[in-house]
Amino acid sequence: MPLLIAIPVVLLFAVCLATGETVRLQEVDCRVRLMAVAAAAEFETLNNPLDQPQIVASAPDGAWLNAGDPVIVFDVTVASNEWLRLLNQRSISDAELAARVTDADNRISELEDSLKASRDRFDVEQARLARLLSLPDTNDVRVAEGRLRVSVLTLEGSSNELVRAGQRLSAGLISPAAFEKMRSAFLQAQAKAAAAAEKLRLARLPADPLEVEKSRLSIANQQQELTNLVFQIEDTRAIVELQKQSNRVHASMLERQIAEQEEAIRSVRVSAPRAGFVAYVREFLQQYMGGTDRMRRKFAFARMPKVETLVFKGVIDESQRRFFAEGDPVEIRVVGRMSEPVTGRVVSVGLLARDRSEREDTGRRGQAAEYGVKAYYDLAVMLKDPAIQVVNVVTPNHLHCDAVLQCAAAGRHVLTEKPPAMSLRETDEMIAACRKAKVRFGCTVQCRVRASIQAMRKALADGRYGKLLAADTSMKWFRANEYYHMDAWRSSRRSGAGVTVQHAFHYIDLLQYLAGPIVKVEARMTNLSHPTVKLEDTLVAYLTYANGAQGLVQASTAFWPGTDVRIELNGTDGTTIMSGEKMLTWQFRAEQPEDAALRQLGNAAQKTAASGAADFGHADHQVVIQDMIDSIHAGREVVIPVSSVRPTVELVLAMYQSAAYGKPITLPIQDDLAIWEM
């Protein structure tokens, strides 16, 4: 940022801030304008509370705000409309459920009425079948016999009466009409006797087989009808319950969405948590401030430094720097906000890098002389040396990008340590810059060049594993607490010091290099034995490869005394295991002549990195460095270009996202800088 350092006796100093660095300032009777970088040891992060909000207003970058002042204001229209839509949807959903439940209740009532009528018909038919199966019925026969005897006796009496009536008629004792009456009574008695005889005959007969079969079929049909009706009632009730359950789930989701929109309406603005300057992150300024993209939820878009911990670093001429002394009061005014000075004191005063490089430094000069090289104290100065063709960047992880961009701008080939950068954006920016400058850009993931790894890769290419089923790595190392406090950056997650990105990167890269691409990851990160640092010392990650294989990553610096790293590949036709640099297992269904020699790979290796950062050799590094030199002479690409390591950067970032949000992450991903704050 442009600064004007001035007071009646004004202060000056330097730019190029890095967390934990101090600034050297001096009191001078002048005004000095310079470009400076500011940083703070303590700051508060401002996160976006909404999902892809529209920005309508924001405080200027670098503005001084009082506690409670708005930093950024979002458009509430979308949230309000969505809130109203969700409320309406909830009402419609409730009404639809009520209508469906009413229809179902009516249907159940109809089915229960049909069930009752069907059961009645079933009972009647069962009684009929029982009666048919009981024929002939002895009781019915006895009754019919008794009725026949009565009818026969009645007929005999009527016959006798008719005979006597004929005699009386002949004697003139009765009239013809009286005789006919007697005759009619006889005929009736005769008919009743015949009917009783027929009933007795029928009562003595067995049931008709056709009637029995018809009755049985009728009962079976009615039984099926009863079963269907019961099922229909049960199904209807189950459907109603499922609809209610679904509606409860849907209602719960709607309530959550409504609550989110209500929170969005309440969160229409993000206010300053304290008085101080607001500093937007670069991604926010580049992608979101212009309105082309929308911020994702929880994105850390700005920071508000604690003023008391602000450090400024800038460059002035040595002729002025000599007037500065530690403890001098200073007043710094940001250009454009001259009325809002920042006051403080000089912490320390130091020489510029170019001044140092012009002077003889006993310690560094001695080291340079020992190895026959020239020592530099500033990258910009070194890049002006025409003898420099290649720069090997071995700075702390979070500083790789700036160094690489400077080298590319100066037309120098670059070899960077892993990880190339701490974000995909920085990785892509470096790749693009080096391509534009037509310089080679390699990465020191030196484990790739090991003979055992190359043998595995060739076996995969030749199909010797058959179908690859699993590709795993286990890195169980030990680092004491002192390791994390050797340098300030080693205890900072933001600087890339966690076990995942700092130590396991090499072996995650090998899985990607051998068996990738990887399409899904689920990771868990913990700190098991380094309580003095706020970063993970243990990683467990489950991988899904594009070819269907599965993978497991175990990495830790918590396990004493530390064991060698294992890389294991398993397929339907073969298994190989590398431990450290040694090939422990090399077995395939189809043995080949070279297999015996391959089983001896790495047996001469003695040192590993299991228990200390310096416990391993540098032969693999030398191969990578020599390849860079050879590629320049031959006019070819390096063996390990950073573009080939980008998938590993993405996979490692996906692991951090998975651990931060507690869910599986599907690749590809977008950068999420909030993971370094969690």
334-351: pLDDT as tens digits: 654 556 677 777 766 665
pLDDT, position 349: 64
- Stretch 516-532: mean pLDDT: 93
Q: Is residue 594 part of a domain?
A: yes
Instruction: Give, in order, the Cα–Cα distances in Å from 331 to each of 20, 278, 307.
Output: 21, 19, 13
**Among residues of the chain, what percentage have pLDDT more than 90?**
37
Q: Is residue 71 part of a domain?
A: yes
pLDDT, position 520: 96
pLDDT, position 20: 44
Confidence band of 76 (pLDDT split at 50, 70, 90): confident
Q: Is residue 577 part of a domain?
A: yes
CA dihedral sign of residues 538, 544, 545, 550 = positive
pLDDT, position 650: 97
pLDDT, position 39: 67
Bridge partners for 523 per DSSP? 541
Residues 48 and 36 reside in one and the same domain: no
Q: Is residue 440 part of a domain?
A: no
Residues 539 and 656 reside in one and the same domain: yes
Better pLDDT: 581 or 16: 581
> What average pLDDT is seen over the chain?
83
Better pLDDT: 525 or 100: 525
CA–CA separation, 505 and 446 (whole Å): 11
Q: Report which of 528, 524, 549 is spatially closest to residue 472, judged by C-alpha positions.
A: 549
CA–CA separation, 331 and 307 (whole Å): 13
Q: Which two tokens stand for residue 659?
A: 């651990």
Residues with Cβ < 8 Å from 378, sequence gap 6 or more? 352, 353, 354, 356, 357
For the domain that residue 581 is a member of, what is the CATH number?
A: 3.30.360.10
Confidence band of 356 (pLDDT split at 50, 70, 90): very low
- Stretch 434-453: mean pLDDT: 94
Res. 108: pLDDT tops 80: yes
Q: Which two tokens stand for residue 45?
A: 């992060």
Residues 537 and 672 reside in one and the same domain: yes
pLDDT, position 42: 76
Q: Is residue 55 part of a domain?
A: yes
Residues 460 and 517 reside in one and the same domain: yes
What HEC string does 137-200 produce? CHHHHHHHHHHHHHHHHHHHHHHHHHHHHHHHHHCCCCCHHHHHHHHHHHHHHHHHHHHHHHHH
Confidence band of 276 (pLDDT split at 50, 70, 90): confident
Better pLDDT: 208 or 586: 586
Q: Is residue 127 part of a domain?
A: no
Q: Is residue 238 part of a domain?
A: no
Residues 580 and 553 reside in one and the same domain: yes
CA–CA separation, 660 and 657 (whole Å): 5
pTM exceeds 0.75, yes or no: no
Instruction: Give, in order, the Cα–Cα distances in Å from 561 to each of 476, 477, 557, 564, 609.
Output: 9, 7, 10, 10, 11
Residues 557 and 511 reside in one and the same domain: yes
- Stretch 227-254: mean pLDDT: 87
Last residue within a domain, chosen from 350, 379, 411? 350
> Which of 42-46, 164-168, 493-497, 543-547 holds the top average pLDDT?
543-547
Confidence band of 304 (pLDDT split at 50, 70, 90): confident
Q: CA-based angle 482:483:488, to the nearest 5? A: 95
**Residue 601: is it exposed, middle or buried by C-beta count within 10 angstroms (0-12/13-18/19+)?**
buried
Res. 330: pLDDT tops 50: yes
Residues 659 and 593 reside in one and the same domain: yes
Domain count, the chain: 3
Q: Report which of 527, 480, 519, 520 is spatially closest to residue 500, judged by C-alpha positions.
A: 527
Residues 34 and 47 reside in one and the same domain: no
Q: Is residue 404 part of a domain?
A: no
Q: Which two tokens stand for residue 651?
A: 């996979």
Confidence band of 294 (pLDDT split at 50, 70, 90): confident
Residues 36 and 54 reside in one and the same domain: no
Better pLDDT: 454 or 672: 454
Q: Report which of 67, 61, 23, 63 is spatially closest to residue 44, judged by C-alpha positions.
A: 67
Residues 322 and 277 reside in one and the same domain: no
pLDDT, position 358: 46
CA–CA separation, 542 and 551 (whole Å): 6
CA 67 to chain centre: 36
pLDDT, position 296: 78
- Stretch 112-116: mean pLDDT: 91
**Among residues of the chain, what percentage have pLDDT more than 70?**
84
Residue type, 591: E
15: containing domain = 1-40+311-350
**CB contact at 8 A, 442 and 640:** yes
CA–CA separation, 162 and 55 (whole Å): 124
> For 605-639, what is each residue's pLDDT tens digit?
545 565 555 556 688 899 999 999 999 999 999 99
User: Which of 87-96, 363-372, 471-480, 648-657 shows the lowest mean pLDDT across its residues?
Assistant: 363-372
pLDDT, position 316: 61
Residues with Cβ < 8 Å from 100, sequence gap 6 or more? 240, 243
- Stretch 640-660: mean pLDDT: 95
Residues 61 and 32 reside in one and the same domain: no
Give SS3 for 584: strand
Res. 173: pLDDT tops 80: yes
pLDDT, position 292: 57
Residues with Cβ < 8 Å from 364, sequence gap 6 or more? 375, 377
Q: Which two tokens stand for residue 318?
A: 């040595």
Residues 284 and 323 reside in one and the same domain: no
**CB contact at 8 A, 207 and 133:** yes
Res. 293: pLDDT tops 70: no
